[in-house]
């Protein structure tokens, strides 16, 4: 059952019928009490009226009995006049109830049938008026039918009204669907504002929010693809030039130099491809929202063990200062990427025999990861821009992709961490601090 209109109809119709049936039962109960009281009052009135004009009532034993009481008429009553234990008059001589026990309302059971009676005493006479229980129930049944049949007969009308009413209420959704179906792939404009029901507005607001996020994501993706294409064009052209040069030169020294440039370009392309894949992998749209406690010192030790051969090749001192246990909430794989990019950048831009220190410290409000080197550092004016993709400083002797710090920034944002670039303690070199929330 995928129709919202049908679901609402199947819910509302039984509920409406149930409420109407409850109302009918309540009305029937009230009508029963009123009708019982009315019929008792009718018995009292008839008995008193006959008592005033009952001198002429005599039992006629010789005549044919009058037409018997009809069970189809609730207002028919049996009228009797008793003198002591002797019946002197009866409206139905064929039906003879036991003598009255006294004046007032009484219930009498005779021949398996219940009778409601009312008797008054006039001198030596007792006038009794009786009405059968079955006649009363038939009257009440007619009342019940009169109360219930309008409810039953109105169910088709109510169903039709609900069907078209629900359709009218869902019309804004059909209008929104029609508007979206006519858009092309670049239609990121919000859904046209119009007077909307309160129940539909949250859906439209959420849809417009999603459209804005998609527009931003596609814009960022387009910029990323354009920047990546631009960055890939340069090394590819350089490879083509050096390969052509290696093919045309005559001397072995020139050929070796050209081949070395080709190998260097391949390494740069390989690193650029890896960094592009890494940046795409840590994009917010594909990040897992699952966070778990991560032992940050253990992650740093694992990265340093992997990077030690590169540091040793440049005779650099790479070490870790983490004497206390520090746990942060995050993704271990992404945190390892963050530490690896920071350490790799420090190794690349720190001169031989330099020093690279990785430290983890508790700070007010969280845990701080620090990577400090004694290299050339980054001028204060460029520290904001080096976090952008593909940006590299003007004075760079080491080849790179300009993506390392952009990856670090993306992972830090995903972990709600604060990234700071500052001068090293001795004013020479760079200190990168990532402050994770406690």
CATH of domain 201-281: 1.10.287.130
Residues of the chain with pLDDT under 70: 1-4, 35, 49-76, 147, 151, 193, 223-224, 226-235, 268, 271-272, 275, 279-290, 389-402, 427
pLDDT tens track for 61-110: 444 444 444 444 444 677 778 887 788 887 777 777 888 877 888 878 77
Contact 322, 300 (CB under 8 A): yes
pLDDT tens track for 373-385: 988 888 887 877 7
Q: What pLDDT score does 18 carry?
A: 80
Stated as kind and residue range, the H or E segment containing 115 is strand 113-122
Two structure tokens written together for 232: 């890939």
Phi-psi region of 246 (alpha: psi -120 to 50; beta: other; left: phi over 0): alpha
From the number of C-beta atoms within 10 Å of its C-beta (0-12, 13-18, 19+), residue 72 rates as: exposed
Contact 137, 148 (CB under 8 A): no
Question: What is the rounded CA–CA span in Å between residue 250 and residue 50?
Answer: 147
Q: What pLDDT score does 74 carry?
A: 40
Contact 403, 276 (CB under 8 A): yes
Q: What pLDDT score does 155 carry?
A: 75
Q: What pLDDT score does 239 carry?
A: 76
List, in sequence order, every residue forming a beta bridge with 361; answer none if it has no partner.
Answer: 368
List, in sequence order, every residue forming a beta bridge with 127; answer none if it has no partner.
Answer: 81, 120
Q: Helix crossing, 404-414 with 332-349: angle to 10°?
A: 150
CATH of domain 290-437: 3.30.565.10
**Size of the chain, expressed as the number of residues it contains:** 438
Two structure tokens written together for 53: 């004009």
Per DSSP, the three-state class of 64 is: coil
The whole-model pTM stands at 0.48
Ranges of each domain in the chain: 4-156, 201-281, 290-437
4-156, CATH topology level: Beta-Lactamase (3.30.450)
């Amino acid at each position: 059952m995928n129709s919202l209109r049908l679901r609402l109809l199947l819910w509302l119709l039984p509920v409406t019928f149930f409420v109407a049936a409850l109302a009918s039962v309540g009305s029937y109960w009230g009508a029963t009490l009123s009708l019982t009281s009315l019929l008792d009052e009718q018995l009292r009135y008839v008995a008193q009226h006959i008592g005033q004009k009952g001198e002429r009532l005599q039992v006629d034993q010789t005549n044919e009995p009058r037409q018997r009481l009809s069970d189809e008429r609730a207002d028919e009553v049996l009228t009797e006049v008793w003198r002591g234990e002797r019946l002197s008059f009866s409206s139905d001589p064929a039906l003879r109830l036991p003598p009255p026990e006294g004046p007032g309302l009484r219930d009498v059971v005779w021949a398996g049938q219940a009778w409601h009676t009312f008797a008054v005493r006039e001198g030596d006479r007792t006038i009794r008026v009786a009405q059968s229980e079955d006649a009363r129930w038939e009257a009440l049944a007619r009342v019940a039918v009169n109360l219930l049949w309008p409810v039953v007969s109105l169910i088709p009308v109510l169903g039709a009204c609900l069907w078209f009413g629900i359709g009218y209420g869902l019309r804004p959704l059909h209008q929104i669907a029609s508007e979206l179906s006519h858009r092309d792939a670049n239609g990121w404009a919000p859904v046209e504002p119009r007077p909307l029901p309160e129940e539909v507005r949250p859906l439209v607001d959420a849809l417009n929010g999603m459209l804005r996020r998609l527009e931003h994501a596609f814009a960022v993706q387009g910029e990323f693809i354009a920047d990546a294409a631009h960055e890939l064009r340069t090394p590819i052209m350089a490879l083509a030039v050096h390969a052509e040069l290696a093919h045309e030169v005559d001397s072995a020294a020139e050929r070796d130099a050209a081949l070395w440039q080709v190998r260097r370009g391949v390494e740069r392309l390989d690193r650029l491809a890896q960094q592009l894949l890494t940046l795409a992998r840590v994009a917010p749209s594909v990040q897992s929202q699952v966070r778990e406690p991560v032992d940050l010192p253990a992650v740093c030790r694992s990265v340093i063990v992997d990077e030690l051969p590169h540091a040793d090749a440049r005779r650099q001192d790479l070490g870790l200062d983490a004497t206390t246990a520090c746990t942060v909430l995050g993704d271990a794989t992404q945190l390892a990427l963050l530490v690896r990019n920071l350490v790799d950048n420090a190794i690349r831009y720190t001169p031989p025999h330099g020093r690279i220190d990785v430290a983890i410290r508790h700070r007010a409000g969280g845990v701080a990861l620090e990577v400090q080197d004694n290299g050339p550092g980054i001028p204060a004016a460029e520290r904001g821009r080096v976090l952008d993709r593909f940006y590299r400083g003007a004075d760079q002797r080491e080849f790179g992709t300009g993506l390392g710090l952009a990856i670090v920034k993306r992972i830090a944002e995903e972990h709600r961490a604060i990234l700071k670039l500052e001068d090293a303690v001795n004013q020479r070199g760079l200190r990168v601090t990532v402050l994770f929330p406690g």
